[in-house]
Amino acid sequence: MLKVTIENDSEDGILWVKFTDIENSSNMFYVCVVYLPPEFSARSVNAHNFFDVLMEQIYSIPKGNSFYLCGDFNSRLGNYTDFIQGIDQLSERNITDFTTNSYGEIFSEFLSTVNCCVLNGRYPIHDDYTYVSTKGLSVVDYCVVPYESLCHYKNFKVIRASVLCNKSAQPGSFRANHIPDHSVLCWEFETNFDNINEICSIDLSQSAQNSLKQQNNTYVSYDVKNIPSDWMTNNDILDKINMCIDNIQCSKGRQFEVDKLYNNFVEILHSEMNDKLETKVKVLNSTNNRKRRIKKPWWNDKLTNKWNIVCTAERDYVTCKQGSLKQQLRKDFVDKRKDFDKLTQKYKRQYWYRCQEELVNFSDNDTNQFWRRIGQIGIGNERQMRIPE
C-alpha cells in the first residue's frame, strides 16, 4: 500500500509526486510529470530555463531514492544521443522519428548532464510514434530514467490511442475528433523496497549515539593478497556452499528469494574471511580522497576540490533548520552540484579524446605499443585463454 502526495508543483508544467510505503516510510520513489509547451506556440516558454529548473529539482531528490520523469516534452530527439558515447555504457536507441527540433538538442544536453536516458527506442518491438495526427507523426513523449536504474524498467510499450479505443470498444464507438493525438506509454518498474516493517526509533544516550556514529565510520579491511592454502577447503564451508547452490537451483527467481540467497552467500564468505584472513579496522575520513581516484582516470585535483565544495554545500543544506536560510542553501547546493557535473563531463571527454588520439598515433607509428595499449584498456582480456580447436 502506497501513500501518494504532491512533492513539488511550484513550476508550471512540472509536477513531482512522491510514493511512500505505508508500512515503511523509508521506502519511497518519485515520479515527475512534465509538459513543455511546443516551440513557437502562444504558451511557449524558455526551454533552457525550463530544463534548468527540472535539473535543480532532480538534484534535490534525497540520495538513494528512485525516480523517473514522464510526459510531453515536445522535443524531437531524432538521432541526438542521450548519453556520451565511449564513456557511458548504454545500448543505442532504435530511432523511430529522425526529425529534430531546437528543443531536441536542449533535451539531449539535459539528459547527458543529469545522467538520464529515455526508454523510447530501447524496446523496439513495441516502439512507435507518440504523436499521431493529420498534421504528421513524431516522438515527443518520453519516459526518462537514470542510467543506473535502466535495468529496473521493463516491457516499455507505445500504444496508439486509436488502437486502444478499438480494443476497448466497438469500432466507431468514438468519434475521430474525440480520440487523443498522443499515444499511451506503458512500462514496468521494479522498486527496491525493503520487506521489513519500520522499526521504531529508540532514544539513545549521548555516549551511545557517539558509539554508534563511530561504528558507522569504521570498516574492516581484509588482507586479500595473502590467501592461505586452506582457503575454502574444509568440509564445513563446502557443505554450506553446496547447500547454497541447491537453494539457488530450487528457487523461483523471485526478488526476495534472490536477496535472501545473496545475503546467505555473503555470510558464508564473511565467515571464512574472518577465520582465515588478516583484518584491520580502518576509520573513514571525509578529508581522505584517495578512494575517489579508483577507476577514474580523468579525476584531478580540481574535481576533488569541486566535490569537497559540493559535499559541504549538501551538508549545510540538509542540516539547516531555518526555512529562509535553507532555501538559499538549497540553491547554493544545486548550483555547485551543477558546476561539478559539467566539469566532470568536460574532463571525461578530454580524457577519452586523448586516449583516442594516442591510439591513432600508435596505430600509425608503433603497432606493438598500439596492441599493448589495447590490452591495457581491457579489450585484450576478452580473448579466450585456450588453444583454438
Distance between CA 125 and CA 351 in Å, rounded? 36
Report DSSP state, residue 298.
T
Distance between CA 151 and CA 161 in Å, rounded? 27
Distance between CA 101 and CA 92 in Å, rounded? 20
- For residue 293, the model assigns a pLDDT of 43
Taken in order 45, 48, 51, 52, the sign of the CA dihedral is: negative
Q: Which residues contact 387 (CB under 8 A, 6 or more apart)?
A: none
- For residue 376, the model assigns a pLDDT of 65
pLDDT digits (tens, 9 = 90+) for 200-239: 343 434 444 555 455 555 667 777 778 888 888 888 888 8
Place of cell 598500439: 370
- For residue 249, the model assigns a pLDDT of 76
SS3 of the chain: CEEEEEEECCCCCEEEEEEEECCCCCCEEEEEEEECCCCCCCCCCCHHHHHHHHHHHHHCCCCCCEEEEEEECCCCCCCCCCCCCCCCCCCCCCCCCCCCCHHHHHHHHHHHHCCEEECCCCCHHHCCCCEEECCEEECCEEEEEEHHHHHHEEEEEEECHHHHHHHHCCCCCCCHHHCCCECEEEEEECCCCCCCCCCCCCCCCHHHHHHHHHHHCEEEEECCCCCCCCCCCCHHHHHHHHHHHHHHHHCCCCHHHHHHHHHHHHHHHHHHHHHHCCEEEEECCCCCCHHHHCCCCCCCHHHHHHHHHHHHHHHHHHHCCCHHHHHHHHHHHHHHHHHHHHHHHHHHHHHHHHHHHHHHHHHHHCHHHHHHHHHHCCHHHHCCCCCCC
Along the 389 residues of the chain, how does pLDDT read in single tens digits? 899 999 999 999 999 999 999 988 888 999 999 999 998 888 989 999 999 999 999 999 887 789 999 999 999 999 999 988 878 888 889 999 999 999 999 999 999 999 999 999 998 888 999 998 878 889 999 999 999 888 889 999 999 888 887 777 655 566 666 788 899 999 999 887 766 544 334 343 444 455 545 555 566 777 777 888 888 888 888 888 888 887 787 776 777 778 888 888 888 888 888 888 887 776 555 444 444 444 577 788 888 888 888 878 877 876 777 878 888 888 888 888 888 888 888 888 888 888 888 888 888 888 777 777 677 665 444 444 444 44
Q: Is 171 helix (H, G, I), strand (E, B) or coil?
A: coil
- For residue 206, the model assigns a pLDDT of 46
Contact between 83 and 147 (Cβ < 8 Å): yes
pLDDT digits (tens, 9 = 90+) for 100-155: 999 999 999 999 999 999 999 998 888 999 998 878 889 999 999 999 888 889 99
